[in-house]
Chains A and B, each alone.
Chain A
Amino acid sequence: MPRVVVDVMPKPEILDPQGKAVLGALPRLGFNGVTEVRQGKRFELEVDEVTDAVLAEVEKIADTFLANTVIENYVVRVEQA
């Protein structure tokens, strides 16, 4: 079954407290060299087939529901099996 993936990330200018918490934990765990962490969400949508109409629908789902475009950006992409 084809899969459409929606990646949602906090906008660059929006403070990301979760990413900051992860970043802060890294040196304590002995991992060094990471200078920035941003945490987002990945949605995997299984669809019957990938058509322009289906992609337009997913775009609408992402824009109105999966992402809050006041604070988040999103990218829709088709994942090849």
Chain B
Amino acid sequence: MRVGVVTFPGTLDDVDASRAVRIGGNEAVSLWHGDHDLQGVDAVILPGGFSYGDYLRCGAISRFSPVMTEVISAAQSGMPVLGICNGFQILCESHLLPGALLRNNHRKFICRDQKLRIENASTPWTSAFSQGQEIVVPLKNGEGQYVADAGTLEMLEAEGRVVARYLEVNPNGSLNDIAGICNDAGNVVGLMPHPEHGVEDLTGPGTDGLGFFTSLVEHVFA
């Protein structure tokens, strides 16, 4: 599959995300924030970083970039979209995902190898995992505290839309230990930790993150 990886001004992890896409057996296509063009890709990743310097709010300005108009419309038609870290923030600002991400409750940037449980293995980004599988991937964020009102949280839990949950340590004060969620249809996934940094043994805590990038293929041929 051809997977687009968007670069905004201030994006950091586009190169790692593209590399993870290739290691996962797909073709990575670079997409530019200023283009009204998805170049015919089959899926899109919004990678981590500090797009537009996190000015105004994280993701608030990126959400109105030309490429996001295309991503939002494609996502609404069912295209798989994965937002990692800053990408998750952009998806929330775009209203493709409910809730918002606030500064960590302890007010410090945090970087650690984080244990997660995959709570929903039926999305196009998580189908390579088994339901309830525990994985370890890097996490690094300053504004990763997931919040939503009580009704939204209840809906996410009831509909199985919590995709990944923090285990052992809640690194940022996220409600219900939420590390990632998906939209109603399941094609749009937002994730605060960084699976793209956990795809090779040479760097990072292992290769547990790879599943997010091999899932697309398995999903198609399943």
A-B pairs under 8 A by CB, number: 32
Least distance between A55 CB and chain B CB atoms (Å):
21
Determine the distance from Cα of A21 to Cα of B105 in the docked complex, in whole angstroms: 11
Residues in chain A near residue B64, CB distance under 8 A: 65
Q: With contacts A15-B173, A65-B60, A65-B64 known, is A70 near B107, CB below 8 A?
A: no
Contact B104 A17 (CB under 8 A): yes
Contact A68 B93 (CB under 8 A): yes
Contact B60 A17 (CB under 8 A): no
Residues in chain B near residue A60, CB distance under 8 A: none
Contact mask for chain A residues 13-43; partner B; CB cutoff 8 A; 1 contact, 0 none: 0110110110000000000000000000000
Contact A70 B100 (CB under 8 A): yes
Q: Which applies to chain A's interface (DSSP): helix, strand, loop or mixed?
A: helix
Q: Which applies to chain B's interface (DSSP): helix, strand, loop or mixed?
A: loop
Instruction: Decide yes or no whether A66 CB sits under 8 A from chain B.
Output: yes
Residues in chain A near residue B173, CB distance under 8 A: 15
Contact mask for chain B residues 92-135; partner A; CB cutoff 8 A; 1 contact, 0 none: 11000011101111010000000000000000000000000000
Contact B100 A68 (CB under 8 A): yes
Determine the distance from Cα of A20 to Cα of B103 in the docked complex, in whole angstroms: 12
Segment 50-71 of A: residues with Cβ below 8 Å from B: 65-66, 68, 70-71
Q: With contacts A68-B57, A70-B99, A70-B100 known, is A17 near B107, CB below 8 A?
A: yes
Determine the distance from Cα of A17 to Cα of B103 in the docked complex, in whole angstroms: 7
A residues with a Cβ closer than 8 A to B are 14-15, 17-18, 20-21, 65-66, 68, 70-71
Q: Could you show 8 A-B contacts with beta carbons less than 8 Å apart? A: A15-B145, A17-B103, A65-B56, A68-B57, A68-B60, A68-B93, A70-B98, A70-B148
Contacts beyond the supplied A15-B147, A21-B107, A71-B147: 15 A-B pairs with Cβ under 8 Å: A14-B147, A15-B105, A17-B102, A17-B103, A17-B105, A17-B107, A18-B103, A18-B107, A65-B64, A66-B56, A68-B93, A68-B100, A70-B98, A70-B99, A70-B100
Chain A to chain B: the 4 pairs with minimum beta-carbon distance, closest first: A17-B103, A70-B100, A71-B100, A17-B107
Determine the distance from Cα of A65 to Cα of B57 in the docked complex, in whole angstroms: 10
Residues in chain B near residue A14, CB distance under 8 A: 102, 147
Residues in chain A near residue B145, CB distance under 8 A: 15
When C-beta atoms are compared, the residue in chain A nearest to B92 turns out to be A70
Residues in chain B near residue A21, CB distance under 8 A: 107
Residues in chain A near residue B107, CB distance under 8 A: 17-18, 20-21
Determine the distance from Cα of A71 to Cα of B103 in the docked complex, in whole angstroms: 12
Segment 37-86 of B: residues with Cβ below 8 Å from A: 56-57, 60, 64
Least distance between B3 CB and chain A CB atoms (Å):
28
